[in-house]
Structure 1
Amino acid sequence: MNRAQVQDHLPGLRRYARMLTGDRWAADDLVQDTLERACRKWLLWRAGTDLRAWLFTLMHNLYLNQRRGAPPLHLLDGQDAAAELPAATGLSHDTALDLERCLQRLPPDQRAVLLLVTLEDLPYTEVARVLGVPVGTVMSRLSRARSRMREWMESADQRPGGVAPVPADAARTPADAPPALRRLK
């Protein structure tokens, strides 16, 4: 592992950290902590394996360790977060802000899978390796995350002013409840 190899993965690490934490400063700290750990543990990386997946695994594990016992995340600087979304997405600032808020409302395990698959374009097998879960769990979490995001974004579009729905930890009302599943034969 050399410096150039790691530098190639910095933009992806920064994106992932930014979306995990919802805060620019916390994301920078997480990236720095990840790089420090990578330097200390570089002998554990096996040449010929995917350096990107190894770095994302280090970051994800550090994030989980830092979050243990910490209060729930809140989007503190949502204006900054929405401004950092790529302009090529074609999203308005308000929509980008709603998207950021909805992402932060997802349970951490679902948010991690959604970000690694959609933002970092990792295949399911790599995401499973990074998170230490079976591929089926990755697909399940991704499906639930996409459904929730779709539901929240649609309800935000229908509300006056496009305001995102109530926080996930608030009591759900019958109108917020997910649709009942139907059994098909």
Structure 2
Amino acid sequence: MSPATDPRAELVSLLPRQRRFAHGLTGDGHAADDLVQAARLKAIERWHQWQPGTSLASWVFRIIQTTWLDEHRTRQRRQTDTDTEALADVVGEDGRQVLEARSDARAVRRLIATLPEEQKVVLMMVTVDGLSYKDAAAALGVPVGTVMSRLARARGKLADGLGRSAGDAP
């Protein structure tokens, strides 16, 4: 099997894209690396489920997304209600920090974190990783129109959050 058709070589070549995608989901480099490692382990364990002739990238991105959602749900279940006594100790915002936090990059990251998971995933796949709508749809197992709709809603929410029109969205 030549390196160009060797799925193991392709899996290795996908690592940078997987890390970018995972970082977009987690917002943290270390958590992204852990997510990619867990997902790649699952891919290796389930290698027999991948069908040659189909997109290996879509299959692996789907595993990353599913792993992220599973871990996210687990964290949500474990999370206890906010301790209202601890809230009393929270200090108010510093005006200087508020001004610094207005940079577009920080604002966009904050807004992305508030998006529903299905919109965040599509946004990361298409805008960060550069997947086509068709490839993103295949990776998520949804129609292309659903990808387009989720992406439009995500971009609209980002534009609204930044006080821009949807045509000006990043």
Structure-1-length-normalised TM-score: 0.67
Displacement, 1:38?
A: 1.1
Unmatched 5+ stretches in structure 2 = 1-5, 78-101, 165-170
Deviation at 1:2, TM superposition (A): 4.4
Q: Distance in 2 between matches of 1:32 and 1:105?
A: 25
Q: How far apart are residue 126 of structure 1 and its match? A: 1.8
Q: Structure 1 stretch 113-122 or stretch 124-133: which is displaced more? A: 124-133
Unaligned runs of 5+ in 1: 73-92, 156-185
Shift of 1:23: 1.7
Cα distance, 1:125 vs structure 2: 2.1
For 1:142, the aligned partner's letter is: L
Q: Residue type of the partner of 2:151?
A: L
Percent of paired sites with the same residue:
41
Selected match of 1:36 from 37, 41, 49: 41
Report how many residues are paired.
135
**1:41 partner amino acid:** R
| CA-CA distance at 1:29 after TM superposition | 0.8
Deviations 1:120-160 (A, max 9, x none): 121222212212222222111111001011111227xxxxx
Query: Higher helix proportion, which one?
Result: 2
**Contact between 2:7 and 2:56, CA under 8 Å: does it hold in 1?**
no
Per the TM alignment, residue 65 of structure 1 is displaced from its structure 2 partner at its CA by: 1.1
Code of the aligned partner of 1:64:
L
Q: Which residue of 1 aligns with 2:30?
A: 25
Q: Structure 1, residues 104-125: CA drift from partner, whole Å, max 9, x if none? A: 1111110111111111121222
Structure with higher Rg: it is 2
Structure-2 residue corresponding to 1:6: 11
- TM-score of the two chains, using structure 2 as the length reference: 0.73
Please give the secondary structure, in 2, of the residue aligned with 1:5: helix
Q: 2:120 is matched with which residue?
A: 111
